[in-house]
A and B are shown apart, each in its own frame.
Chain A
Amino acid sequence: MLERCLGSRRLRQMQRAFRRGTLTFLCLFLTVIVLRGTIGAGKFGTPEQDLNEIRQQLYSRGRRVEPHRVLEEVQSSENNNDNNNYATFDITKILKDEEAGDDEKRDPNTPYTLGPKISDWDEQRSSWLSNNPDYPNFINPNKPRVLLVTGSSPKPCENPVGDHYLLKSIKNKIDYCRLHGIEIFYNMALLDAEMAGFWAKLPLIRKLLLSHPEVEFLWWMDSDAMFTDMAFEVPWERYKDHNFVMHGWNEMIYDEKNWIGLNTGSFLLRNCQWSLDILDAWAPMGPKGKIRDEAGKILTRELKNRPVFEADDQSAMVYLLATGREQWGGKVYLENHYYLHGYWGILVDRYEEMIENYHPGFGDHRWPLVTHFVGCKPCGKFGDYPVERCLKQMDRAYNFGDNQILQMYGFTHKSLASRRVKRVRNESSNPLDVKDELGLLHPAFKAIKLPTSS
């Protein structure tokens, strides 16, 4: 019929053109698919991703979708009879925000601040201290009142044993602080959603400094850092003219601008106006999103050996000190005579050697004060090191520290890898005659100063 309308030659031409057109489209289509499949053309995704997405879409109506995890433990069982079984329970079912409306959205054009600028904190604080003699900032002439601050997320860890290691870590800190008369604040609240992640400590520290004027030094410690020298007392007199003590090396900061020239996993900050000012100067690189990403690029460019990732508080501090030495450097003490922060990689294999050759109280390479498991991230699903090495070594470090506590009571762990304890000193019918080797039961730094009038 068409042939009669258009003429056979015409028809054939059209047919040919049509076929060629089809051929072209088909080839184009195939090319696009193949490219997506092999190269994965960026944000458009791959067919495999499409398949997964479709699957997820279909199933999400029925049950809660869980993100893909390497260490996922929760098996979402449909068995509703198992109400008393903890293993099949999903905690996200019960957590809910009831009063959500209050999100103060900060105007993105105004620069971020931790809070309204306070300029007379030293005066405010000293007048408060003189009005409250029951809350002195120095417990003894050489011993300032210290508050150890640490914390973790209020949600359960993604790693099934992560919370167990957080528990051991806080027990370790409780032990050290009990021996040394230090108070602990364990934070589980995110004070400022913009400063989430490693920056969360800044608003917290500022808030604690302002709410606890009786505290002279605030000691921030990461949750993955453990005390391994229970007998070492921080030499407070050394820092009487400084306000900020971190573990690090002057040359690595001021000369090399090395991003690991200092460590903000364990540091001391004095409660004073200077500290509030440095917190204000430190904070601007922190706010989540574009600011943090851009700041990260600047830091990678300016600092030596820094990999590419968003701005973190440690690199920002390195940058702040390296560029503002005249302003801040005078009151910053970069301590390296003992391990205020001790990188775990070079310490954990030597514990047996230390036990053989040395004794607690040194705080340095002979017997480190703090073993800090940087990069292990036991609470998260992925760390920078193999899981086995991290967890086994954390056990060893914990036992190494715990042995010093147990020896006060006449026990020790059977080995650095063992949870079991064994007796090393028999019970006596005259317990007060027995002295513990390290003198930690009643150490001098915990003694209460007696009134001199008697």
Chain B
Amino acid sequence: MGQENNLTQKRTTSTGGLPTTTTTTTTNSRNRTLPRGRQIQKTFNNIKITILCGFVTILVLRGTIGVNLGTSQNDAVNAAVIEETNRILAEIRSDSDPSDRNQTETFMSLNETYALGPKILNWDTERTSWLDKNREYPNFVKGKPRILLLTGSPPKPCDNPIGDHYLLKSIKNKIDYCRLHGIEIVYNMAHLDMELAGYWAKLPMIRRLMLSHPEVEWIWWMDSDAFFTDMVFELPMSKYKDYNMVIHGYPDLLFEQNSWIAINTGSFLFRNCQWSLDLLDAWAPMGPKGPIREEAGKILTANLKGRPAFEADDQSALIYLLLSKKDKWMEKVFLENSFYLHGYWAGLVDRYEEMMEKYHPGLGDERWPFVTHFVGCKPCGSYGDYPVERCLSSMERAFNFADNQVLKLYGFRHRGLLSPKIKRIRNETITPLEFVDQFDIRRQHEGTVEPKN
């Protein structure tokens, strides 16, 4: 009985309460003789108190730590949902495909020669006769040649989500420029030819589009990491009437130094004609994945200045082609460097504020670059050649720099070149059309009509 009382004392003091029982038990502990009934009652009371305290403790623990049976169920469900979602996302982002079950990758051997398609010999005459028969699809619209902008990205999600976000911003930027200048866009997300995957994938697509769209006069390839930064500038197509290919580059770097970055295939134009088909056929052989591309890479590194060792890429291959068969091809290739058909980003992005202060859109050159091209950033991959923060903040700046020119018509601009938010620069009015006349970029090119071919 004494023991019982001690134990009871211990329990009651641990929950910090119920001193009344303590007092009664302390007084009672002096009296050794207790009637049975009262003993039982006391025991009963103690047990009640114990249970009550136990119950209260459990409830309090549940409330604070969520330790017990009820709350863990929700967590388990949540955890299952998260796991399932992650599994689905991993599946989507992997390169595996339900159609890949029975396929093993085979590469072309060094002995085989690759062809983009059956050789076509009379494309110019075919095209001219088609255009004659289909006059409702002319190759010149309002005096300007019909241009088709081709760009694209791989069919699977980028290795990291920020890459897809910048692909989205990039295509919006291109949509804006092309809407203002009447250019159509084809966004390619399919590998038409598994052998020419990667940067070579543009070749079969260019050829395919040329042959399917005879009404298109020029096909303009643009990389997904290139942004238009001069929304007003228009290509001076009359300059190129005697040429079939327009590419940004420097003659001295190309012919004297044989540099592997003498020209840039991130933004170039091809006329839709037999000459272009022939060039594509001559360009393609270094492309097929596997031993051919590897070997070709070695040849290119050996022959071009500054080229690191890696598999053959389309740019180096084109330089090599133009250098080795200079007499055949260079006559119809225009190396453009009077404006930034391709503008290497590093020297441009920090000067945007200075440009906004001193110059105006429409120049296209180093004062207000036409295109800012983020070579080496590779936001869609896992690693780029430059620090991520620099790349992404520069891309954001370039995007906003261009977007400001589009938003000007609507009376807005970004709150700083790094801000996704906009602010009003012109109040709403009941006669909006006067500003439309003043600010619409399309109207700024009236009167500059090209002579028809």
| Interface residue ranges, A against B (CB under 8 Å) | 16, 19-20, 22-23, 26-27, 30, 33-34, 36-38, 46-48, 51, 70-71, 73, 83-87, 89, 91, 93-100, 102, 104, 115-118, 124-125, 128, 134-135, 152, 154-157, 160-164, 166-168, 170-171, 174-175, 178, 183-186, 188-191, 207-208, 210-213, 387-388, 391, 402, 406, 408-411, 414-415, 417-421, 427-432, 436, 441-442, 447-450
Closest B-chain residue to A70, C-beta based?
A: B82
Bound together, the chains give a CA A60 to CA B23 distance in angstroms of: 50
Tell whether, in the assembled complex, residue B60 and residue A37 are in contact, meaning their CB atoms are under 8 Å apart. yes
Tell whether, in the assembled complex, residue B386 and residue A419 are in contact, meaning their CB atoms are under 8 Å apart. no
**Does B138 reach chain A (CB closer than 8 Å)?**
yes
Number of residue pairs A-B, CB distance < 8 angstroms: 290
Tell whether, in the assembled complex, residue B99 and residue A96 are in contact, meaning their CB atoms are under 8 Å apart. no
Bound together, the chains give a CA A27 to CA B159 distance in angstroms of: 58
* A83-B19 contact in complex given A117-B430, A154-B420, C-beta closer than 8 Å: no
**Does B108 reach chain A (CB closer than 8 Å)?**
no
Tell whether, in the assembled complex, residue B159 and residue A188 are in contact, meaning their CB atoms are under 8 Å apart. no
**Does B49 reach chain A (CB closer than 8 Å)?**
no
* A448-B136 contact in complex given A86-B379, A86-B383, A429-B120, C-beta closer than 8 Å: yes
Tell whether, in the assembled complex, residue B389 and residue A93 are in contact, meaning their CB atoms are under 8 Å apart. yes
* A86-B134 contact in complex given A23-B17, A128-B433, A167-B168, C-beta closer than 8 Å: no
Closest A-chain residue to B55, C-beta based?
A: A34
Residues of A within 8 A of B164 (CB): 161, 163-164, 166-167
Tell whether, in the assembled complex, residue A34 and residue B89 are in contact, meaning their CB atoms are under 8 Å apart. no
**Does B410 reach chain A (CB closer than 8 Å)?**
yes
Task: Output the residue of B84, B184, B189 with the most chain A CB within 10 A.
Answer: B189
Closest A-chain residue to B152, C-beta based?
A: A171
Closest A-chain residue to B389, C-beta based?
A: A94
Q: Measured between C-beta atoms, what is the minimum distance from A309 to chain B in Å?
A: 22
Bound together, the chains give a CA A449 to CA B141 distance in angstroms of: 12
Q: Can you spell out 20 A-B residue pairs with CB atoms less than 8 angstroms apart?
A: A19-B20, A38-B62, A84-B387, A86-B163, A87-B160, A89-B162, A89-B392, A95-B396, A134-B142, A171-B189, A175-B187, A189-B403, A191-B412, A387-B84, A388-B84, A406-B190, A421-B190, A429-B120, A432-B127, A448-B141
Residues of B within 8 A of A71 (CB): 82, 85, 89
Bound together, the chains give a CA A286 to CA B142 distance in angstroms of: 43
Residues of B within 8 A of A421 (CB): 190-192
Q: Measured between C-beta atoms, what is the minimum distance from A54 to chain B in Å?
A: 12
Residues of A within 8 A of B141 (CB): 448
Closest A-chain residue to B394, C-beta based?
A: A94
B162: contacting residue among A30, A86, A450, CB under 8 A: A86
Residues of B within 8 A of A411 (CB): 190, 192
**Does B214 reach chain A (CB closer than 8 Å)?**
yes
Binds A, one of B260-268, B280-288, B421-429: B421-429
Residues of A within 8 A of B433 (CB): 124-125, 128, 210, 213
Tell whether, in the assembled complex, residue B382 and residue A86 are in contact, meaning their CB atoms are under 8 Å apart. yes
* A442-B215 contact in complex given A37-B63, A73-B161, A167-B171, C-beta closer than 8 Å: yes
Residues of B within 8 A of A104 (CB): 424
Tell whether, in the assembled complex, residue B63 and residue A178 are in contact, meaning their CB atoms are under 8 Å apart. no
* A450-B424 contact in complex given A160-B89, A189-B407, C-beta closer than 8 Å: no
Q: Measured between C-beta atoms, what is the minimum distance from B145 to chain A in Å?
A: 14
Contact with A along B157-183 (1 / 0, CB 8 A): 111111111011101100110010000
4 other A-B residue contacts (CB within 8 Å) besides A116-B429, A157-B161: A86-B162, A210-B436, A420-B100, A430-B126
A174: contacting residue among B187, B415, B418, B432, CB under 8 A: B187
Residues of A within 8 A of B127 (CB): 432
* A22-B158 contact in complex given A84-B384, A161-B89, A213-B436, C-beta closer than 8 Å: no
Q: Top 5 nearest A-B pairs by Cβ distance?
A: A37-B63, A98-B416, A154-B420, A163-B164, A447-B136
Contact with A along B65-104 (1 / 0, CB 8 A): 1100000000000100110110011001100011110000
B134: contacting residue among A27, A184, A189, A442, CB under 8 A: A442
Bound together, the chains give a CA A421 to CA B126 distance in angstroms of: 29
Q: Measured between C-beta atoms, what is the minimum distance from B90 to chain A in Å?
A: 10
Contact with A along B270-297 (1 / 0, CB 8 A): 0000000000000000000000000000
Bound together, the chains give a CA A43 to CA B130 distance in angstroms of: 74
Residues of A within 8 A of B323 (CB): none
